[in-house]
Amino acid sequence: MAEYGTPRPKRRRGRGLLITLIVLLVIVGIVLFAGDRVGRSYAERIISDKVSDQVANQKATSEKPDVTIEGFPFLTQVLHGRYDEIKIELANFSGPADQNGTKKIKLPLLDIRAKNVQASIDTLRSGGNIVAGAVTGTGTIDYKQLAALVDQPGLTLTEKNGQLTGSAKVNALGQSFDVTGAAKLSVADGLVHVRFANVDSPDLPNLPGIKALVAGYADKLGIDVRVPTLPLKLKVQQVQPEADGLRFTAGASNVTLNSSGA
């Protein structure tokens, strides 16, 4: 009987070692996961604070920047010194729309994405620069704000067939006429140039004086929109009319994410 009973304790010991190993692996996994989360949260908080400082330095306002370092695991990215993508969202961003700061443009959301981010372990230890090779930002200026900047009574702006369209009433010959026109959009030196062309109405009489009056009104609708100074050196590069407003895309390269400067 003794000979048949001897293998059983060995199997139990082997099973116990396997269970112990599994428990240890689970514990190590939990520790690594917790460390990953802590390290990620710390880095996100640092970047959020620095971007918040930039917004304040530019006399703009927003809610606390919501920073998310994409990719998993974070610690592996730290070891390689490269990060997949860093998402920075600024809700309720508002900044000056003119040099005097008397007019403001408000954005429901300024959505920023930083890619090709480089920061070695030594850089992080020394508090060095976290540099993004490319940063893009998008935001939408609603048409009500845009019309207010043009400052022409009764002007309504909408998107139609992919174009920015304006409509308003023009008084001529003792009558009021509804006129419409499409805008040409361009971007230069951080300004969005809005110029209306082909402003017309089927109800207008075909008279040279009336046509000149409408053409002069179209010239008054032209405006250069100054998008507020954006954080992370972002500069407006292109605009596109959308259903809810004029959507702009901004870009920058070789940007230090953890700098408080503009």
Over the stretch 205-229, which tens digit does the pLDDT of each residue have? 666 666 677 667 677 777 888 888 8
Does 11 have pLDDT greater than 60?
A: no
The predicted pLDDT at position 155 comes to 83
Does 31 have pLDDT greater than 50?
A: no
Q: Which of 50-54, 127-131, 150-154, 258-262 has the lowest mean pLDDT?
A: 258-262
The predicted pLDDT at position 172 comes to 64
Over the stretch 227-248, which tens digit does the pLDDT of each residue have? 888 898 999 999 999 999 999 9
Over the stretch 86-118, which tens digit does the pLDDT of each residue have? 899 999 999 887 666 678 889 999 999 999 888
Instruction: Report the first-to-last Cα separation within the chain, whole angstroms.
Output: 84
d(CA 19, CA 33): 21
d(CA 104, CA 85): 31
The predicted pLDDT at position 64 comes to 94
Does 27 have pLDDT greater than 50?
A: yes
d(CA 67, CA 113): 10
Classify residue 114 as left (phi > 0), alpha (psi -120 to 50) or beta: beta
Domain segments of the chain: what residues? 10-139, 145-226
d(CA 157, CA 146): 8
* Mean pLDDT of the 45-56 span: 84
Over the stretch 51-76, which tens digit does the pLDDT of each residue have? 888 888 888 899 999 988 776 666 67
Which own/partner pairs from 120-126 qualify as long-range (CB within 8 Å, at least 24 positions apart)?
A: 120/81, 121/78, 121/79, 121/81, 123/81, 124/43, 124/78
* Mean pLDDT of the 1-13 span: 53
Does 21 have pLDDT greater than 90?
A: no
Does 22 have pLDDT greater than 60?
A: no
Q: Classify residue 211 as exposed, middle or buried by CB count within 10 Å of its CB (0-12, 13-18, 19+).
A: middle
pTM: 0.76
